[in-house]
Chains A and B, each alone.
Chain A
């Protein structure tokens, strides 16, 4: 079985501040991990994914995430928040035996204050 926990359903930062969204996973086999972003009334868009090639993964819009096996974490960061980053962010997990079926966390809503 696999699962994802996103700590903090709402995160608020000031424009220009560091963004840190937390994701912890549980998987009995080596995982593949994803971060998706969802803007209002839109579908999910892939930000980045971990496929075991490198533990530090860089994605679109200046986001990056680091896979830490010892902490079972895959936190998402961005050095400087922009107003356009306000959205809902979802962490998801799958693995080789899961047929590419994603298990999502509950999501974190990021708010950016001017």
Chain B
């Protein structure tokens, strides 16, 4: 069974530029999550999707971050414009269901460096 796929793996941009990350969850998983992991910290949930609807985006900085999952499968996370403090690893995860304690499976992440 293929795992969660993410691309690109690494991205370096300058502040005020835009960037987008892509995630393809495990086949059949209805729930998709985006996390931000700043160096030396645990992951922090940004947004959770159930199929193509948003379950929770309370920790998403909506003035610069956006995410979509239009067809209920793959998803993109965008930052526009980027700030220095956005430097982090962006992890995508998926689970079969959206109720606890369903296991979340994580992708390898995209490491973003903002200069």
Contacts and interface: CB of A to CB of B under 8 A. Distances in A.
B42 A106 contact: yes
B106 interface: yes
Q: Which of B33, B100, B108 has the most CB of A within 10 A?
A: B100
Contacts of A43: 4, 91, 93, 106-109
A92 B100 CA distance: 12
Interface string A41-81: 11111100101000000000000000000000000000000
14 contacts: A9-B40, A32-B100, A43-B91, A43-B109, A44-B106, A92-B42, A96-B99, A96-B100, A99-B56, A99-B98, A100-B95, A100-B97, A100-B99, A104-B44
Given A43-B91, A43-B108, A99-B48, A104 B43 contact: yes
Contact of B108 (A41, A49, A94, A99): A41
A102 B98 CA distance: 11
* Contact-size category for A: 20 to 34
Contacts of B33: 101
Contacts, number: 71
A51 B95 CA distance: 16
Interface residues of B, number: 29
Interface in B14-72: 31, 33, 40-45, 48, 55-56
Binding site secondary structure of chain B: loop
Contacts of A104: 42-44
Contacts of B99: 96, 99-100
A106 B38 CA distance: 10
Nearest to A33: B101
